[in-house]
Amino acid sequence: MNFNFNVPSKVIFENGCSIAVAEVIHEIQAKRVFIVYDKGIKSAGIADKIIAPVEKAGIKVTHFTGVHPNPSIENVEEGYKVAAVADTDAIIAIGGGSSMDCAKAINILLTNPGSIKDYEGRGKVKNKTKPLIAIPTTAGTGSEVTAFTIITDTERQRKMIIAGENCGADIALVDPALTIGLPPAITAATGMDALTHAIEAFVSKNASIPSNIHALKAMELIVGNLEEAVKNGTNLKARGNMMLGSLLAGIAFNQAGLGLAHAIAHPLGSRFGVAHGVANAIGLPYVVNYNSGLESVKEKHMEIASAMNIDTEKKSVDVISEELVSTIVKLSSAIDIPALRGLGITKEDLENIAVEALKENSMKFTPRNASLEELKELLLSIYNEDPLIEKVY
């Protein structure tokens, strides 16, 4: 089996490690840092807790607190303007995928000319970026270990993927304790995003043995801990397992790529502002069901089911695929994932979402191709909340 595998970031995983960021800043010999986060991180008290010891250590700090969800080109430019005059040695991102991606994009512009739009695609960011330390506060996008930054082009209503060298963090400080106060709905949505990363990486056309190992362990951790993390947010063990699951899923999809659930989630985010995790959670069981139309995927579903602790003994591959789908449906319902219909999307919007989804990069990796008609039918099933097991595609 051929593969090309690497983890772009050095990872430190420990409860409380984010408080010691000043030491990491010293190690990379930075004297001035640019810190990127959003208002939610500020009001949760996370930013102050991490930044106070940095300032106390005599490191000059410039803040950009204006990150928006699904950050746009304009949002990146706004941050870049502040960073460009700050004369900074390193960048620190504190937050979920939105803050980490916005920081990555600002960092690209600090050493590469032009607009962030010029770098859409893979391998276009040629100049070395400044050291970036990512501190994730959701579990999550895995952006702390992926060489991707995802920025919304509001004009085209599209999520741009900027990937490759100079698009990742150099150091990830993964501190599960930071997620203790993450509200239940965001815990649920971001956890389902991580589960979608793991499942899509595992069935991807580009999967490999190292990505599969990470993806399977991620699924086990996420399915075993997400409901507990949502319902009992102060359970540090569940939070730690979720953070680890999200990290491993990030490592997996960074190499293997994603699939149809993400292809649908991106236009839902860029056109309708649906939170990334919610958009994935809504589509995931329908996509798993659709993919199980391929024999080769059914075989993979057996391994996924075992990782998720579903009893596979003496069961056919068809039954196992069905149980996998119903496990995902039950998990989503236990953690109150909303339905597509309640998110301001009408039946008339579905065709456009299908057209946009087909243009997404992750369609290259999804195991079962979909025509426009098939995708429209799948979206209609999601919209109508059709029961899954009886549905024959």
Please tell me whether residue 41 binds ligand NAD under the rule CB under 6 A.
yes
| Torsion sign, CA atoms 203, 204, 207, 210 | negative
Q: Which DSSP symbol is given to 363?
A: G
User: Binder to ligand NAD among 214, 217, 271, 276 (CB under 6 A)?
Assistant: 276
CA distances from 265 to 125, 255, 276, 285 (A): 25, 20, 6, 13
Question: Footprint of Zn ion on residues 180-209 (CB under 5 A)?
Answer: 193
Q: Which is nearer to ligand NAD, 100 or 379 (CB)?
A: 100
Using CB under 6 A, pick the residue from 96, 131, 257, 367 that binds ligand NAD: 96
User: Cβ(226)–Cβ(188) under 8 Å?
Assistant: yes
From the list 11-19, 126-134, 141-149, 340-348, the region that binds ligand NAD by CB under 6 A is: 141-149
Alpha-carbon distance of 355 to 364, in angstroms, equals 15
Size of the site for Zn ion (CB under 5 A): 1
Among 30, 35, 38, 375, binds ligand NAD (CB under 6 A): 38
Nearer to ligand NAD, 38 or 170 (CB): 38
Note whether 274 and 189 are within 8 A (CB).
no
Residue nearest to Zn ion (CB): 193
Gyration radius from the chain CA atoms? 20
141 near ligand NAD, judged by CB under 6 A? yes
- Concatenating the DSSP letter of every residue in 109-152 gives HHHS-S-GGGG-EES---SPPPPEEEEE-SS---GGG-SEEEEE
Question: With respect to ligand NAD, which residue has the nearer C-beta, 99 or 312?
Answer: 99
Q: How far is CA 121 from the centre of its chain?
A: 18
DSSP assignment letter at 45? T
Toward Zn ion, which CB reaches closer, 240 or 259? 259
Smallest gap from residue 315 Cβ to ligand NAD (A): 33
CB of 175 to ligand NAD, least distance (A): 10
Binding site for ligand NAD (CB under 6 A): 38, 40-41, 44, 46, 69-70, 95-99, 101, 137-138, 140-143, 146, 148-150, 159, 178-179, 181-182, 186, 190, 193, 276-277
